[in-house]
Structure 1
Amino acid sequence: MFLTDVLERNGVAGPVSANSKRHALQTVAELAERGLGIDSDIIFQGLMDREKLSSTGVGLGVAVPHAALKGLTRMHGVFVRLDTPVDFESIDDVPVDLIFALFAPEDAGSEHLRALAKVSRVLRQKSLRDALRQVDNADALYALLNQDHAQSTSAA
């Protein structure tokens, strides 16, 4: 699986402003609504329900919020870079500015887990995180995230 298997160009935004974790997740839900055709309130509630279990702030300024949503037939992703990091109750207490949200069909099972693992693995790369924090538009963010596909393909 490549990030571009779940992430479309219209699912990338940044830098955007948010003043809290809640506001950041609302922004993610609004962006996801455009690509998923599901009301942003439903998406937001799914994200918040998951956050109640434990924070999806995985450390290093990265969060990977996720939710299973009725009506989806495949995995979808949304990436948002915040202009200013927000407290996400991350495991390392570092505020989050890079958010890669995943949305799965209700019956996704192991596919959902594989996607979460892939996103986490890719965003652990310091060089990618640094590059994502340096660019100032969604096209450049998408291109950087798309490099994962290009590098994996050329290495094969």
Structure 2
Amino acid sequence: MELSSLLQPADIIAELVATTKSDVLVELASQVAERHPGLERDELVRVLQERERLGSTGIGDGIAVPHGKLKQARELVLAFGRSRSGVEFSALDGRPVRLFFMLIAPQDAVGIHLKMLARISRLLKDPGIRRRLMDAADAVAIHQIIQEQDSRQ
């Protein structure tokens, strides 16, 4: 499954307003709840915060992949956010996070959930892609970059 099949420009926040870890989770969850009726923002935030308590999803290099499973989710749901100034997210390397992929999976989705996390990780491992995502003009341009990379993987 390709990232760009789950992620549309409307799922992308090109300029996050949030300046704290908690606010980033709320802002991304709000975007998902707005786009996916049946998924409630507060429940999304609870699941994401629960996962963060186990250990930060800030994986380093300015990247975080907050994720969780939700009984109400019928399919994988993906959102993306970018913070040009960066957000303190307790990342493994201690640096601020600028690129956020949020993944919500159905409660019983194990394999596909892990495959999607691996796909996100492969995409963002390339410093050139991270730079292009940071430099992209808007949500449509961000989506195009992700779509291009999907076709190469």
For residues 53 and 9 of structure 1, the distance between their equivalents in structure 2, rounded to whole angstroms, comes to 30
For residues 27 and 124 of structure 2, the distance between their equivalents in structure 1, rounded to whole angstroms, comes to 20
* 1:33-44 correspondence runs (5 A): 33-37=33-37, 38-44=39-45
Partner residue in 2 for 1:57 = 58
* 1:1-156 correspondence runs (5 A): 1-37=1-37, 38-152=39-153
| Conservation of the 8 A alpha-carbon contact between 1:18 and 1:84 | no
Kindly provide the amino acid, as one letter, of the partner of residue 31 in structure 1: Q
1:150 to partner: Cα distance? 2.8
For residues 9 and 138 of structure 1, the distance between their equivalents in structure 2, rounded to whole angstroms, comes to 5
Kindly provide the amino acid, as one letter, of the partner of residue 18 in structure 1: A
TM norm structure 1? 0.92
For residues 23 and 146 of structure 2, the distance between their equivalents in structure 1, rounded to whole angstroms, comes to 23
For residues 135 and 9 of structure 1, the distance between their equivalents in structure 2, rounded to whole angstroms, comes to 12
Say how many residue pairs are matched.
152
DSSP-derived class of the 2:13 partner = strand
Aligned-residue sequence identity (percent) comes to: 32
| Conservation of the 8 A alpha-carbon contact between 1:75 and 1:112 | yes
Kindly provide the amino acid, as one letter, of the partner of residue 57 in structure 1: G
Q: Which runs of 4+ in 1 moved over 2 A?
A: 149-152
Kindly provide the amino acid, as one letter, of the partner of residue 9 in structure 1: P
Kindly provide the amino acid, as one letter, of the partner of residue 134 in structure 2: R
CA deviation map 1:55-105 (0-9, x unaligned): 000110000000111222211110001131011111111110100010100
Kindly provide the amino acid, as one letter, of the partner of residue 75 in structure 2: R
For residues 26 and 102 of structure 1, the distance between their equivalents in structure 2, rounded to whole angstroms, comes to 14
Kindly provide the amino acid, as one letter, of the partner of residue 8 in structure 1: Q
CA deviation map 1:10-34 (0-9, x unaligned): 1111122211111111111111112
Gaps of 5+ in 1: none
Kindly provide the amino acid, as one letter, of the partner of residue 81 in structure 1: R
Higher normalized strand content (fraction of residues): 1
TM norm structure 2? 0.94
Kindly provide the amino acid, as one letter, of the partner of residue 48 in structure 1: Q
1:148 to partner: Cα distance? 1.5
